[in-house]
A = this chain, B = another copy of it.
Amino acid sequence: MSGGLDSTILLYDLLDQGHKAHCLLFDYGQRHIKELGFAEATCSKLGVTFDKISLPPQLFQRSALTTGADSLVGQPTIVPNRNMVLIAMAASYALSHGCTAVSCAVNSDDADVYPDCRAEFIKNLNFALRCCHTRRMEVHVPYIVRTKAKVVEIGWRLNVPFDETWSCYADGDEPCGQCGACQVRLKAIADAGHALQ
């Protein structure tokens, strides 16, 4: 759980469906580390247990999200193989603690920029997860067939307080409105609003 729009909506969605959840919050050296404060606050509010996991800083270099690079839009924001590392760790955690699946809130718009959000990647990762252990494991990606605007609609239906989420890649006091994450968030909310008119 990042504390952004999609993962927060997914948590509300899973609880609404009657699932029991445990969240993993990852510090992977992202400059917008403040997102995890939003994730923690949501977990606490919903009575959901969580672990905060710090990853070694050597792993994820060459990304604008973990370095001081300027451009926070498009390809420079890719963090190499991030989702395999996070999902693999979540699968180990799940197998170690008796959880039945990992859930991840990638949506179909994420595929435009991020290779490790694409259906092809997740499908192959699931083939590996299904044979990684003596018990079955898999990653559940309910939003991979939905645009971010459709995820926003689910959030509205579940009364998710969007102001309790943080998407911006910059580390300012307010969302910058310019980075890749702000752009797709604003567009998704606008698109979802138009769809309701």
Contacts and interface: CB of A to CB of B under 8 A. Distances in A.
Q: Ordered nearest first, which 8 A-B pairs have the shortest CB separation?
A: A80-B95, A61-B96, A124-B127, A124-B128, A84-B88, A81-B92, A125-B128, A85-B88
A75 B134 CA distance: 9
B53 A81 contact: no
B124 A96 contact: no
Contacts of A85: 85, 88-89, 92
B78 A134 contact: yes
Nearest to A96: B61
A82 B125 CA distance: 14
B115 A60 contact: no
Interface string A46-61: 0000010110101111
